[in-house]
Amino acid sequence: MFYFFYMRNLLLAILMCLPLATMAQEKQMVVYRDGRTPLRIDVASVDSIKFEDAVEEHEYVDLGLSVLWATCNIGAATPEEYGNYFAWGETVTKDSYTEENYVYAEKGAYKDLPKDIAGTEYDAATAIWKGEWRMPNINEVEELAKNCTWTWTAQKEVNGYRIVGPSGKEIFLPAAGQWRNAPINVGSTGYYWTSSLSDEYSSAAYNLNFTGFSGRWSANRAYGFCIRAVCNK
């Protein structure tokens, strides 16, 4: 690790000291990895060099809708895993999800949050998966509900819905239930947060609810629901 940082700093020092105009005539920056040469860059085309933390890649499916849907829940490694549960607007998991321990409530009064938290500091998908990932808004969830074919099934012995989009491709949403003082309704239904605050109650947010797909379903922001992330095309 020390050697990596030493070489990185040495490279930066060299590039800063040498005139780019002179280097551009004859020089290329060559990046070596595992003894190979995967990348050559003309120095003249280099404006700056920045080292960033690697972003973990996650798979998605193009269902033929307005956004791309992740193949698994936040905190899950496969489509069948339930993953993590989150209170709306929180980005860490807890042992229980109640009004008493909800971060954005005090003495029963709920604090104001943006009407749409997608891509903000309150978005667990953005905070954990980073990159372009975010929570879906209510319109995107309604699009998923209305424009896809939903079939209740068991995938690898896990109950849930097989969802086939207009493109013919599919995703699986497991019946992960919800979490309050403990998990409830697991295996029989599912609750997935959207990024949209309820239009009727400031203490509630819209969610995708397996109980029904007509109308807009909202629930107490303090409850622990799963999140299926999306990203823009």
- DSSP string computed for 146-181: HHSEEEEEEETTEEEEEEE-TTS-EEEEE--BEESS
Locate the domains of the chain by residue range. 2-45, 60-232
Give the distance, in angstroms, between the CA of residue 230 and the centroid of all CA atoms in the same chain. 6
Cα 58 to Cα 123, 191, 206: the distances in Å are 17, 21, 25
Would strands 28-33 and 36-42 be described as parallel, antiparallel, or unpaired? antiparallel
Judge whether 153 and 134 are in contact, CB under 8 Å: no
The helix (run of H) or strand (run of E) holding residue 205 is: strand 204-209
- Find the largest Cα–Cα distance for the chain: 68
- How is residue 60 written in tokens? 């998605």
Q: Please report the pLDDT score of residue 4 as a whole number.
A: 44
Q: Where are the alpha helices (DSSP H) in 64-155?
A: 124-129, 138-147
70-99 tens-digit pLDDT: 999 999 999 999 999 999 999 999 999 999
Q: What is the pLDDT of residue 216?
A: 84
> What residue ranges of the chain have pLDDT lower than 70?
1-29, 31-41, 43, 50-56, 212-215
pLDDT at 211: 79
Look at residue 169 in the predicted model and tell me its pLDDT: 98
What is the model's pLDDT at position 47? 73
pLDDT of residue 21: 46
Q: How far apart, in whole angstroms, are the C-alpha atoms of residue 11 and residue 88?
A: 44
Which tokens belong to 112? 């104001």
For residue 2, the model assigns a pLDDT of: 41
Rounded to whole angstroms, the Cα distance separating 230 from 184 reads: 25
